């Protein structure tokens, strides 16, 4: 990708609306730029006191943003189909995208250059980096869980894990630790895999087809949504900590661990049934807040690495950043 295709943020207009929030409720920041539904969001870890946000969108143009302000940094140009998932490496130096054009791509997050194109025989629905950023895993309607060695720049570096095990499209894949990979499939199963032996370590069947399966920002809790239910698993022991049946569709769920600022553990959900972000108490399962702002179903929610805000991506083509801390933060300087 040439530099003129990947302009610097200083020359780009800010996509963030910074209207002054009311005293009653903090107004979210709205990030524009996408032209179709935003289906997945992922934050990086902290890099030099900052963090970043990458978005996957059906417009085929994944975008990189400043995670605190939402300011646009760049767009990765090269896919020829919708992007279903996008992630950043641990150091935020690499980006990975899963696309409907039958490929996953690995990008240089500084220049926007395509480093690897990983070809598949069907849509790639999900992608994730290994903890040491040397491998990526992918899945999709092929029902094949693959792991690619990034030190080998072609598809010869691919290894299939659990041949024939999945009976539905693989919707999500995450690394629990360097040796354990987690896949979530439309056959309602969550599967934990040992990447060394390629054998199943554990399985759990949810009640309805799985929608999302992501680790919390601290990597300790696996957050799962399926139908109107959410599930939370201990990331190390793989035991179910809690399942909660809500009254609403949950296309996404994100858990915030307790902190000194927010001592009550809460989680947020969004779904296809309406345009609202719901905040729940983890211990009681009671709905605490209803946050309005989107104009379409909400497909993705994710907390920042410091837990001071969370992001939501919607059918309306926008990303919203919602302040979570009671203290002034980011562009909410006075609130």
3-state DSSP helix/strand/coil % of the chain, to nearest 5: 5, 45, 50
Is residue 3 in a domain? no
pLDDT recorded at residue 218 = 83
pLDDT recorded at residue 8 = 34
How far is the C-alpha of 2 from the C-alpha of 34, rounded, in Å? 21
pLDDT recorded at residue 25 = 60
* pLDDT over threshold 60, residue 209: yes
Q: Which residues of 175-211 are buried (b: 16+ CB within 10 A; e: fewer)?
A: bbeeebbbbbbbbbbbbbbebeebeeeeebebeeebb
Confidence bin at 157 (pLDDT 50/70/90): confident
pTM for this one? 0.90
Is residue 10 in a domain? no
Task: Tell me the HSE value of 310 on the side-chain side, using a 13 A CA sphere.
Answer: 24
Angle at 62 between CA 301 and CA 208, to 5 degrees: 40
pLDDT recorded at residue 154 = 67
List helix spans (H) across 139-247: none
Confidence bin at 129 (pLDDT 50/70/90): very high
pLDDT recorded at residue 17 = 37
Is residue 307 in a domain? yes
What is the CATH number for 187?
Answer: 2.130.10.10
Tokens of 159: 């290894």
How far is the C-alpha of 22 from the C-alpha of 20, rounded, in Å? 7
pLDDT recorded at residue 335 = 63
pLDDT recorded at residue 165 = 96
- Cα–Cα distance list, 172 to 55, 151, 231, 280 (Å): 15, 23, 15, 23
How far is the C-alpha of 28 from the C-alpha of 309, rounded, in Å? 10
Q: Which residues of 269-283 are buried (b: 16+ CB within 10 A; e: fewer)?
A: bbbeebbbbbbbebe
What are the tens digits of pLDDT across the range 257-305? Answer: 776 666 678 999 999 999 999 999 999 999 999 999 999 999 999 999 9
How far is the C-alpha of 29 from the C-alpha of 309, rounded, in Å? 10
How far is the C-alpha of 61 from the C-alpha of 155, rounded, in Å? 23
Tokens of 194: 């040992």
Tokens of 204: 């759990």
Mean pLDDT across 162-181? 94
pLDDT recorded at residue 21 = 33
Which domain does 215 fall in, by range? 15-323
How far is the C-alpha of 39 from the C-alpha of 54, rounded, in Å? 11
pLDDT recorded at residue 246 = 96
Mean pLDDT across 303-314? 95
Is residue 23 in a domain? yes
What are the tens digits of pLDDT across the range 83-108? Answer: 999 999 999 999 999 999 999 999 99
Closest by CA position to 87, among listed 42, 46, 149? 42
251 touches 298 (CB < 8 A): yes
How far is the C-alpha of 81 from the C-alpha of 104, rounded, in Å? 11
How far is the C-alpha of 240 from the C-alpha of 246, rounded, in Å? 17
Q: Of 7-16, 117-126, 138-147, 223-232, where does mean pLDDT reach its minimum?
A: 7-16
* pLDDT over threshold 60, residue 173: yes
Is residue 329 in a domain? no
Q: Work out how many domains the chain is built from and give that number.
A: 1
Is residue 1 in a domain? no
Matching residue, tokens 């399942």: 243
How far is the C-alpha of 285 from the C-alpha of 265, rounded, in Å? 10
How far is the C-alpha of 87 from the C-alpha of 106, rounded, in Å? 10
Tokens of 266: 């809460």
What are the tens digits of pLDDT across the range 17-60? Answer: 333 333 346 799 999 999 999 999 999 999 988 999 999 999 99
pLDDT recorded at residue 22 = 33
Is residue 331 in a domain? no
Is residue 335 in a domain? no
């Amino acid at each position: 990708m040439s530099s003129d295709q990947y302009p610097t943020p200083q020359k780009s207009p800010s996509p963030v609306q910074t209207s002054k929030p009311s005293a009653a409720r903090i107004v979210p920041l709205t990030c524009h730029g996408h032209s179709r539904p935003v289906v997945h969001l992922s934050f990086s870890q902290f890099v030099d006191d900052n963090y970043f946000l990458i978005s996957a969108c059906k417009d085929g143009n994944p975008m990189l943003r400043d995670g605190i302000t939402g300011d646009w940094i760049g767009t990765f140009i090269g896919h020829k189909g919708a992007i279903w998932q996008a992630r950043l490496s641990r150091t935020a130096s690499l980006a990975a995208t899963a696309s409907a054009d039958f490929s996953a791509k690995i990008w240089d997050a500084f220049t926007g250059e395509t480093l690897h194109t990983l070809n598949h025989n069907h849509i790639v629905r999900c992608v994730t980096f290994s903890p040491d950023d040397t491998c990526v895993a992918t899945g999709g309607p092929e029902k094949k869980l693959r792991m690619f060695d990034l030190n080998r720049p072609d598809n010869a570096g691919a290894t299939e894990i659990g041949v024939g095990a999945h009976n539905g499209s693989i919707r999500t894949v995450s690394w629990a630790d360097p040796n354990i990979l987690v896949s979530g499939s439309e056959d309602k199963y969550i599967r934990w895999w040992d990447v060394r032996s390629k054998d199943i370590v554990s399985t759990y069947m949810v009640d309805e087809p799985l929608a999302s399966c992501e680790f919390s920002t601290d990597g300790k809790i696996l957050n799962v949504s399926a139908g109107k239910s959410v599930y939370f698993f201990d990331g190390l022991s793989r035991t179910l900590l809690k399942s909660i049946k809500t009254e609403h569709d949950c296309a996404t769920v994100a858990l915030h661990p307790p902190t000194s600022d927010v001592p009550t553990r809460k989680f947020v959900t969004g779904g296809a049934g309406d345009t609202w972000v719901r905040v729940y108490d983890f211990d009681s399962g009671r709905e605490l807040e209803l946050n309005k702002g989107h104009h379409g179903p909400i497909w993705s929610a994710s907390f920042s690495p410091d837990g001071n805000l969370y992001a939501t991506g919607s059918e309306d083509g926008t990303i919203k950043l919602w302040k979570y801390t009671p203290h002034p933060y980011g562009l909410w300087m006075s609130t």
